[in-house]
Amino acid sequence: MATKKRYNFKGLDDIFGESVVDVVGKIENDKKLNEEAKSYIDINILKPNPYQPRKVFDDEEIIELSESIKTHGIIQPIIINNDNEIVAGERRMRAAKIAGLKTVPVIIINLSKVQMEEFAIIENIQRVDLLEIEEAIAYKQLSNSLKLKQEEISKRVGKSRSHIANIMRLLNLPDYVQEALLEKKLTMGHAKPLLTIISDEKLLLNIFNKIIKEDITVREVEKLVKNKTLEEVSTNKVKNINPNLKNMENKLMRKLGTKVAIDSSKIAIKYTDIDDLNRILELLGFIEE
C-alpha cells in the first residue's frame, strides 16, 4: 500500500472562514488538489464518521452507484481524517465495497472532533430529501453539542435565523408527533396548526389521532383547530369576552404560532426564550432578518 499523503490544514476556518458548509465541494472540485493530495488505501480500514446523524442509506441508490464504480471507478476521492474516519463519501465507500474494490482513493485532512461533528451535522442538513423535523433535530444537535446560538447556526448553514427558529419550534411538539413526522405519517402542514394548541394536550392528541386514523387533509386539521377555538368563544360568552377580540386572538395565534391572549386592556403574547421572542418580533415587522 502506498504511503498516505496528508493535506494538512490548521483548521477549516483558515480556508473557509467561519463556516464549513462548502468544504467538501471546495476540496472535491479542486482538480489540482485531487491529484496532489490523493492516495490509495485499503477500503477495509475506513470507518464511518462517529458523529454521522444519518444511519439509514438507500440500498437501491448504493447498488446503482456500485455499478457506475465498476465501469468508471471512483471519480471523486473519499475524504477522511487521520484516524481513517470518513468525513465525506460514505455512500461511495459502501458502493465500492459492493463493487469489489480493495483500495479506494482518499484525501486525508486534519480535523478536530468538534469539526468532525459540525461537518457531519451540516452535511446532513444539506441533504435534498431532508425532512423538516430532521432539520430541526440537526439544529438542536448544533446548539447542544457545539454550544451554538441560533445566530451562529444561521451563519454556518446559510439560512436565516427566523427560518431556524421556526423549524426548531417543531421540537416543542410531543414526542409522538415528532415520531410521526419522522415516519412521514403526517406532514409539516399538519404539524403547524398543532403548534397553536400545544397547551391543550387532550385536544392535540385527539386531533393527532384523527389525522392518523382518517388521513385527513391539512385544511381539515386547520378547521378542527379553528372550530375548537370557536367552541371556546361560545363557552366564554358567560365571561363577557368580546367575540371580535377572541377572533383577533385566534388570527394572531395562527400568524405567530404561539399562545396569544387579548382582553379589553392588554395583549399577552407567549414566547419560550429570546430566540423565540426575536422570531415573533420579526413576524410583526419590528426587526429585520
Which active-site residues does the annotation give? 90
Helix (H/G/I), strand (E/B), else coil: 128: coil
In order of 226, 246, 266, the CA distances from 261 in angstroms are 15, 8, 8
What ranges in 169-200 are assigned the alpha helix state H?
175-182, 188-195
Given a contact cutoff of 8 angstroms between Cβ atoms, the answer to whether 127 and 101 are in contact is no
197, amino acid identity: I
The 10 Å CB-count burial string (b at 16+, else e) for 16-48 is: eeebbbbbbeebbeeeeebeebbbbbebeebee
Q: How far apart are CA 285 and CA 289, in angstroms?
A: 10
Strand ranges in the chain using DSSP code E only, listed in sequence order: 6-7, 38-42, 78-80, 86-88, 103-109, 260-262, 267-269
Q: How far apart are CA 115 and CA 11, in angstroms?
A: 8
Q: What are phi and psi of 75, to 5 degrees?
A: -75, -45
- Sorted by sequence, the CB contacts under 8 Å of residue 3 that are 6+ apart come out as 39
In order of 51, 234, 236, the CA distances from 76 in angstroms are 22, 65, 66
Q: How far apart are CA 81 and CA 165, in angstroms?
A: 33
